[in-house]
Amino acid sequence: MRTFVERQLDLANLWTALLVAEHGFDGPAGSLFLDGGSLIKRDALEQAAAAKSRARAAAILDKRVRQSPLAAATGRDENVEERVRRALTREQRTIARQQPLGTAPIIEFWLGLRIEAAAIRRIIWSIAAGVPGAVRAREPVEA
């Protein structure tokens, strides 16, 4: 559970820094920092937020998350959230194999449900938008 919560806090801080770098913020970026993560520290958020471009901020943060499931989070394509969810699911699966009586199997299951729900939403919206079946059948790119 601790690893998952740390990842969620790091992910929130990472995306906050990217948004502030791209769109700006009237206050100090450090005031947006959520304490408790293990990868993104306050100074990294402030440095990335001050980069004044999303690409430069992503390069700064990528160094911090490169070897973690959050590596996909600095991307810009439409499948970023799904790739992050899948990476977090893989991490929880690994933890579940090491500690099968812990909370990791439950978190892995929950993340799997979120992935399925997103796929169902995508299918429903594509049908409503009239997307051809052959295009709908393609799965998003996995990291």
pLDDT tens column, 36-70: 999 999 999 999 999 988 999 999 999 899 889 99
State the DSSP H helix or E strand holding residue 49, giving kind and residue range, or none if neither: helix 42-49
The secondary structure element, H or E, covering residue 130 is none
Looking at residue 36, its pLDDT comes to 93
Interatomic CA distance for residues 124 and 118, integer angstroms: 10
Q: Which two tokens stand for residue 92?
A: 């929880």
Decide: 114 and 85 in contact? Cβ < 8 Å. Answer: yes
98 versus 134: which is more confidently predicted? 98
143 falls in which pLDDT band (50, 70, 90)? very low
Full-prediction pTM beyond 0.95? no
| Segment (H or E) for 121 | helix 104-128
**Mean of pLDDT over the chain:** 89
Residue 91 above 60 pLDDT? yes
* Beta strand extents in 3-55 (DSSP E only): none
| pLDDT at site 87 | 93
Q: Please, what is the end-to-end C-alpha distance for the chain in angstroms? A: 23
Q: Is the per-residue pLDDT at 1 higher than 60?
A: yes
Q: Would you state the pLDDT for residue 40?
A: 92
Q: Strand, coil or helix: what is 1? A: coil
**Is 142 a residue whose pLDDT tops 60?**
no
